[in-house]
Amino acid sequence: MKVMLAYDASPEAEAAAEEVSRRPWPEGTQVRLITVLHKSPPSPCPDGCDIYAPLAERVAAVMRKEAYHKIRRVLEKFATRSDIEASYELCEGSVKQCLLRAILEWKPDLVVAATAQGQAAKGPGSVAQTLVACAPCTVEIFKTPTAA
């Protein structure tokens, strides 16, 4: 079985990762975390200055490093499971496009994504709604309760 976990390091995604790591899975199950970093479009620099690109790349490198550390922490939850082979993919770009591309390329049996209670109802523009509508496999939306 192949399980793709959309992971953005939010509290909801952490709870979903914890849930996936606790569930019983068939021997040989593959779990892949997919994390998407937003790629910010280049902004014009006044007076043709040449510092924006190197600064932007340094910021992007810090974001990738931070995301990698968070991903490694989640992968450790799966390390004790002999029945699961865990991996990850770190993408840059549109969240919806990257997740759908990863689904089409990796062909999971199940996609797990998280949303805060009430967020899934935001309509067709939400990531959860896009996954449910467009993924060619089963999609589970893991909802966490909102604070009262």
Across the 148 residues of the chain, what is the mean pLDDT of every consecutive 10-residue run?
Answer: 94 92 95 87 56 71 89 92 94 93 97 74 72 94 70
Q: Which fold has domain 2-43+52-144?
A: Rossmann fold (3.40.50)
pLDDT at residue number 139:
96
Residues in the chain: 148
- Distance, first Cα to last Cα, the chain: 37
pLDDT at residue number 39:
67
Identity at 25, one-letter amino acid code? W
Domain boundaries, the chain: 2-43+52-144
pLDDT at residue number 88:
95
pLDDT at residue number 124:
52
Alpha-carbon gap, residue 88 to 22, rounded angstroms: 18
CA dihedral 95, 101, 104, 106 (to 10 degrees): -90
Which strands make up the sheet holding 110-116, listed edge to edge? 84-92, 29-37, 2-6, 110-116, 138-144
pLDDT at residue number 22:
93
pLDDT at residue number 110:
97
pLDDT at residue number 51:
56
